[in-house]
Amino acid sequence: MIAASAVARATASLGVDVAALKDLLAEMPQGVTVITTLNERGEPVGATLSAVMPLSLDPPMMVAAFDRKSGTLANLTTEGQPFLIHLLGAGQEPLAYAFSGKGASEKFRGIEWSSDLLGLPKLPSCPGTIFCRVAQLLPAGDHVLVFGSIDAFEHTADAIPLLYHRRKLRPAMVMESA
């Protein structure tokens, strides 16, 4: 039995205790990604996201949850718009922090990057990079889900992933297989 003091209760007038919910959700480790694309002027834009996950293998798809106010999201509203999902690894905390602010194009100042075959901004040394195209958008509360069709990917199998857990960036604890 769970003690009543351990349970955050919703009140009829206030709804869910948002602070307690945030504390609970901070216990869920999340992979850290940076999503990049180009704005209408062809300038690079990007954002750090931890709410990104594989959705389907047939067809191959990803889904990413963007804050409705995201400057990067504003550039992903057209079906077919290409974007890159960069899976960050241990030691790439500076990239995560650089892309976590609210501005869009100024995030690239002082950041090493190159253009991929379509001119998309590609970050170096990531354990994985997934090339997607916007397939669908779905408003969801204070976020918008961007569904991406996967066209291609790159993967480094032995990299240690970067996680967001308890409101801090941390390298994943990797267990050796038997």
Q: What is the pLDDT of residue 25?
A: 87
Q: What is the pLDDT of residue 178?
A: 57
CB 147 within 8 A of CB 121: no
φ, ψ of residue 25 to 5 degrees: the values are -65, -25
Q: What is the pLDDT of residue 177?
A: 66
Q: What is the pLDDT of residue 98?
A: 93
The total domain count for the chain is 1
Q: What is the pLDDT of residue 103?
A: 65
Residues 6+ apart with CB under 8 A from 15: none
Task: Tell me the residue range of the domain where 43 lies.
Answer: 18-162
57 assigned to some structural domain? yes
95 assigned to some structural domain? yes
DSSP 121-177: EE-TT-SEEEEEEEEEEEEETTEEEEEEEEEEEEE-TTPPBEEEETTEEEEPPPPPP
| Low-confidence stretches of the chain (pLDDT beneath 70) | 1-14, 103-105, 177-178
Tell me the CATH number at 121.
2.30.110.10
From residue 88, how far is each of 7, 50, 157 by CA, in Å? 34, 10, 13
Selection from 33, 39, 45 nearest residue 103 by Cα: 45
Residues 6+ apart with CB under 8 A from 128: 86, 87, 153, 154, 155, 156, 159
Q: What is the pLDDT of residue 89?
A: 96
141 assigned to some structural domain? yes
> In this predicted model, what pLDDT tens digit does every residue of 38-67 receive, in sequence order?
999 999 999 999 999 999 999 999 999 999
